[in-house]
Structure 1
């Protein structure tokens, strides 16, 4: 019996040594005193350079708030739309705050928090030119950021639309403003910012693709961190801080949906 006990103990010790250590980014951030947040800095009002040359935007300020609550130094890591999830999975960032919409496909790779902003995805153009259904997108010139969620959706669902692909969101919007495209595809917050910055060329929703609230994302398995983030969002929603950010960058206070 003693011999068998020794064998089981040895086997347990060996198994413990060979099992991968469970990730705990929250503990690492608290221990290291540093928080790496992936954001979009080319997507006003989510993230952009302010008049003073400093990073700002709803996502940037939310990241600052998060770092403050964790008593950690904030490192902003600029990302593009297509690079958001890959950088998170590669451990180049601790958390993603980058206007990320939750989808079943993405949820196989990352874990999403409760929403912190309520926006929609759509095709935008001059007022008075609504498109009633997907078939109506056929032949329309639509500027879109290459590799984005909207690029993928339009390619799959509106194959007859004339997509004009650009490297990033600002380039796609600039093309629309310059008359190189009839429409551009983006989220409603970005479209509202386009109108704010270009009062002589207002835009409106021509075709709604879907509602797509924004979520914070962490790697699969980071349940401790996700629990903390949801508590963080709940706290700042209840005390009015989220509403202040929404008012500052979206010009409205939002009622947030629940997952």
Structure 2
């Protein structure tokens, strides 16, 4: 779950956000594929980022063995890439990832949790910036951060309420990415609304849905592990005025998001 990934916005531009100064945590070295360019992840900590749901060691093992460990949503703030110089005086790219401080400390005490956080951070950056990063990473022992610690602007906006239109019978579905369609209105000229239509066969009630609309990201999960959708889109939307409706008869969730800019 992305808390915010916008840098350089002022409080006036986004009154329902706040600027935080994260604390360094660990620095992870990997490479981009297929170019083999060096990439560093500065995984930082701040209690301004909310903690994820409780996760036991047994649940973590199951997640790491599953096809989609990112299905467990870790709230995080992803910063913009910044160019740096490594110890060999070579150019490289660094990304700052901020997670909850208490959760970070727990991960430091258990190598399995640390592995999981690194994996989720890599997948978040890949989705956000259309990257492909190697899973052959290395945690640097004598460095907590590459470059300088930058402020991050995180949002404090609430997710939209899902309104149920009519009840329908329940059924079961296997865990998978649902079919969806993204539309813009009007279809010509400057877009005013971005509309996501998501098919959720077998989901009988909106009570099983958890939706998070970010400025340029939409995350939807249907419990218990029926569906997971995590997508970025090329628009900035108004999170506060986004609305969602679940039609239980058609089993389609419609999310209407006012477009701020493209």
TM-score (norm 1): 0.24
Q: Which one has a bigger Cα radius of gyration?
A: 1
Higher normalized helix content (fraction of residues): 1
Higher relative contact order (CA 8 A, sep 6+): 1
Higher normalized strand content (fraction of residues): 2
